[in-house]
Chains A and B, each alone.
Chain A
Amino acid sequence: MTAQLLQIEGLGVAIGATRIVKNLSLEVRAGEILGLAGASGSGKSMTALAIMQLLPQAAVITGTVRLRGATLSRSEDEMLEVRGRDLGMVFQEPMTALNPLMRIGDQVAETLRLHRAMSASEARHAAREALDLVGLTGEQGALDRFPYELSGGQRQRVAIAMAVVMAPPLLIADEPTTALDVIAQAQVLSVLRELVRTRNMGLVLITHDLAVLKQLADRVAIMHLGEIVEQGLTAEVLLRPRQPYTAALVAAASISPKGAARPSNAAAVLQVCGITREYPRKRRSLWHAAAPLRAVDDVSLCIHAGETVGLVGESGAGKSSLLRVILALERAQSGQVRLLGEDFSAAKGADRYRLRRAIQAVFQDPYGSFDPRWTVERLIGEPFFLLGTPPSPLERRRRVAAALEQVGLSAADARRLPREFSGGERQRIAIARALITEPAVIAFDEALSALDVLLREQVLKLLAELAQRLNVAYLFVSHDLHVVRALAERVYVMQNGRIVEEGSTETLFGSPRHAYTQALVAATLKLQVK
């Protein structure tokens, strides 16, 4: 019989009058992975912070948390001992979880030296072992590297090394792979699984991504509005959900792939010909200029009227740089962007305005996409600037209202400020803004990454419907192959600044030819809910 490692009974968290977590009970055994899933705002992270007792002062915690049978004390002094030694934690954002001014070896060793009297060289030795354990061996995981020298996936593995260096019996990971691309995600997940197996550690894995749980968790608990609505063995809960909420989550997560591409005899609306974009690098010395960083290397692609095209690749592949060149936000060193058959990159004056109307964009961050001081009406109407004769105030209001209704919001929302809307609603507003000039192409830069599964499915449906109704083409830039697979008819795969493969969604996912595409697809296919 395996002993209960973590027992939570009747846990409640309240801030003021708002009850964030209600009467939650959970158990985790040694060597077991418990997945805690739910939409954003369901109280998952609050539960994790309550176990660690890292909640803000204003929060009131009720109920008991027992670790190996002993009730965790509420005293901060005693928790200082427990955190790190008995409970490890990994946070979502690898970019901010590490101290940017500290070498990674020192950061990993810090936990050790806080808890045990140990010499600097012993601590370094232990840090080396912990980094080897998470797969950061050799040059990659050199102890004297700084966080900025590492990729997101490598940083997240450093964070895991910090959490497990003391070999705690229980690890809590809060959305550890949400900010990572598929390949980095696959690496981090396998590191976690390996740790649980070799150390007989318990793991509470918090995520909104059911596909991740399907792959990793032994048992799952589904949270909704601060309560656990369903829990049980992973396969049972995901394949035969008993609660309607679980069923909705599972349905939203298993997006069906887009059907075969229409035979495309439509005219090309966007042609990208031989784009190369270089960024200058810091000079090595006064006399030696460093070779520039080639972010986009001789890329050509083409989108036809009404077509949905995906552009995938891991972070740093040059997708965003290419997109910024296409949108004429940055100038390319060589190559040409042609819109509606005309040269957009060289267009000047009125031509430039006219062509700009044909391409609009939806950006990644639903919170940073809007000037916080502007009303929705003014924000959506901003592209009217591109029209030779701006519409009258009445006409303007009418068209903004129409655009709002098109994306499923109401005309009355025009007078509100962006902060009054949720993330999903904001992405709808961004889509309305992109639609207002009736463009031929809309570019999406990771536009759905910040949304959880339920919202993502709604926005995907909306986009599919709009594409059909308005015959607008989409260029969908993303590291999330699920989304691209669900929406795109054709996909370009980008690696190190080059397009390495192109094909219809079906053939590309069915029989990828390039080694990199095969790796991407393999990493994604493992992560399917059904």
Chain B
Amino acid sequence: MSAAPRNSSLIAGALLTGLFVAVALIAPYWTPFDPRALSIAGKLLPPSAHHWFGTDQLGRDVLSMIMAGARTSVGVAALSVLIGLLGVPLGLLAAAHSGGIDELVTRGNDLVFAFPALLLAILLTSVLGPGAITAIIAIGIFNIPVFARVTRAGALQLWTRDYASAARVAGKGRWRISREHILPNLAGLLIVQGTIQFSLGVIAEAGLSYVGLSAQPPTPSWGRMLNEAQTLTALAPSLALFPGFAILLFVMGLNLLGEGLRRRTERPE
């Protein structure tokens, strides 16, 4: 057989995603300038050798803000995916026990899906106050039923395999088989879903911070940078361009990575 075809979306996606995650990891320790340092004298400078991406209306270095914003974006999306993973045991449970528990989990999923995410975020803001934590919880809660559904669907299929029956003939209980046989064989599927939820999380965080429901100033975030740049489009059009492209490229990278991983896991043994 010839060599496996090159998975170019996997490579491109991994490179783009890796770049943004690396920037997010570096940002707390090093940025070209302090992203919070104001300089009225140096406001709205165009991109130059000194300030690669220029400065904003308060004289802050845009490149440094993008870097610090990456940290907010990656942090919120990653933590909300972690919260979403709570759906995995729920899905396993639902698949292992048909009947009452399955019905409960499935209907519970439907209930959460019926709520608009923005409404929940506003509700949480009035309780917890706006901030990154609120955004993480709001996005995370909506990730739970997604993971529960994907896990349940995948697990139901694996339960029909003879090896699940064989494990039961070997005396193993449903929960033990879920852990030993079902979950490991779902890993690929869950990693792909995790990547997709990560990219949706980046968009959701940008949206929430655009309307002021996520990280509060002075913590930089891409959504708020877009919002602030909006009023200055006539004066400094490049100001909206950089956070916009950052969101676009990061989400594209994650989607390519998800697509590449999906193709990789789907390839027969």
Which of A's residues lie within 8 Å of B, judged by CB?
15-16, 58, 324, 327, 329, 352-353, 356, 359-361, 363-365, 368-373, 382-383, 385-386, 419, 430, 433
Q: Is the CB–CB distance between A370 and B163 below 8 Å?
A: yes
Bound-complex Cα distance A361 to B163 (A): 11
Contacts A371-B181, A373-B184, A373-B185: A385 and B166 contacting too (C-beta < 8 A)?
A: no
Q: Besides the contacts A16-B1, A361-B165, A386-B170, what 19 more A-B pairs have beta carbons closer than 8 Å?
A: A324-B165, A327-B165, A327-B168, A329-B169, A359-B169, A360-B169, A363-B165, A368-B162, A369-B166, A370-B166, A371-B167, A371-B181, A372-B269, A382-B167, A383-B171, A385-B170, A385-B171, A385-B172, A386-B171
Query: What are 18 A-B pairs with beta-carbon distances under 8 A?
Result: A15-B1, A16-B2, A324-B165, A352-B171, A353-B171, A359-B169, A360-B169, A365-B162, A368-B162, A369-B162, A369-B166, A370-B163, A370-B166, A372-B269, A382-B170, A382-B172, A383-B171, A385-B172
In the complex, chain B residues 149-201 whose Cβ is within 8 Å of any chain A Cβ: 161-163, 165-172, 180-181, 184-185
Nearest 7 CB-CB pairs, A to B?
A: A363-B162, A383-B170, A386-B171, A369-B162, A368-B162, A382-B170, A368-B161
* B171 to chain A: closest residue by CB: A386
Chain A residues contacting B269 (CB-CB under 8 Å) are 372, 419
* B161 to chain A: closest residue by CB: A368
Q: Is the CB–CB distance between B166 and A361 below 8 Å?
A: yes
Q: Is the CB–CB distance between B171 and A371 below 8 Å?
A: no
* B163 to chain A: closest residue by CB: A371
* B180 to chain A: closest residue by CB: A371
Compute the total of residue contacts between A and B using a CB distance below 8 Å: 60
Bound-complex Cα distance A383 to B170 (A): 4
Q: Is the CB–CB distance between A368 and B171 below 8 Å?
A: no
Q: Is the CB–CB distance between A433 and B171 below 8 Å?
A: no
* B169 to chain A: closest residue by CB: A361
Q: Is the CB–CB distance between B169 and A356 below 8 Å?
A: yes
Chain B residues contacting A369 (CB-CB under 8 Å) are 161-163, 166
Bound-complex Cα distance A353 to B166 (A): 14
* B177 to chain A: closest residue by CB: A371
CB distance from A228 to the nearest CB of B (A): 25
Chain A residues contacting B169 (CB-CB under 8 Å) are 327, 329, 356, 359-361, 383
Bound-complex Cα distance A58 to B1 (A): 9
Which of A58, A360, A364 is in CB contact (< 8 Å) with B162? A364
Chain B residues contacting A329 (CB-CB under 8 Å) are 165, 168-169
Q: Is the CB–CB distance between B166 and A433 below 8 Å?
A: yes
Chain B residues contacting A360 (CB-CB under 8 Å) are 169
Chain B residues contacting A386 (CB-CB under 8 Å) are 170-171
CB distance from A292 to the nearest CB of B (A): 15
Bound-complex Cα distance A363 to B181 (A): 17
